[in-house]
Amino acid sequence: MPRYSLKSQDRLNTCHPLIQELFGEVIKEYDCAILEGHRARRRQNQLHKQGKSKVKWPDSTHNELPSMGVDAGPWFKGKGIPWDEPNQFYVFAGFVLSKAKQLKIKIRWGGDWDGDHDVNDQWFKDLGHFELLSTEKES
């Protein structure tokens, strides 16, 4: 069974318990890495300046504590995170979204912001980004 590196686990620990629950399940079946959880002011504003984030502190879901946003990606032995292969992120996100549904955790993915399953109508793609839509499970 795959497991998180200490770095990934540390990052996941800064996230909301429901995100921790979800990705705690995902890793059992799908090797992946947590790229970022909570993001401090300095880093948020730096990413904004670089055009990698659309918002400044404190407007990102990553700025809340615990973090309501998480960045994650698939992990392959010998290859690591396949940054130049977006298809791998689509497959991974499909798995995460379906696992979230199973667990009744409401999330949104940065490759389908409006959740209509059409991945070609995005104004901004953030394929590794997931965020919690509610701190309560679907009843």
Of the candidates 11, 39, 108, 129, which one interacts with Zn ion according to CB under 5 A?
A: 129
Taking each continuous run of H as one helix and of E as one strand, the counts in the chain are 4, 4
Report in angstroms how near the CB of residue 36 gets to Zn ion at its nearest. 6
Q: Which residue is nearest to Zn ion (CB)?
A: 129
Which residue lies nearer to Zn ion by CB, 51 or 78? 51
Per DSSP, what are the bridge partners of residue 112? 109
Residues 48-107 interacting with Zn ion (rule: CB under 5 A): 69, 71
Report in angstroms how near the CB of residue 126 gets to Zn ion at its nearest. 6
Which residue lies nearer to Zn ion by CB, 69 or 74? 69
Helices 17-29 and 86-102 pack at an angle, to 10 degrees, of 120
Which residue lies nearer to Zn ion by CB, 16 or 129? 129
**If DSSP states are collapsed to H, E and C, what string results for 84-103?**
CCHHHHHHHHHHHHHHHHHC
Report in angstroms how near the CB of residue 53 gets to Zn ion at its nearest. 8
Distance of alpha carbon 49 from alpha carbon 60, whole angstroms: 14
Which helix (H) or strand (E) is 36 found in, with range? strand 32-36
User: Residues in the site for Zn ion, rule: CB under 5 A?
Assistant: 69, 71, 129
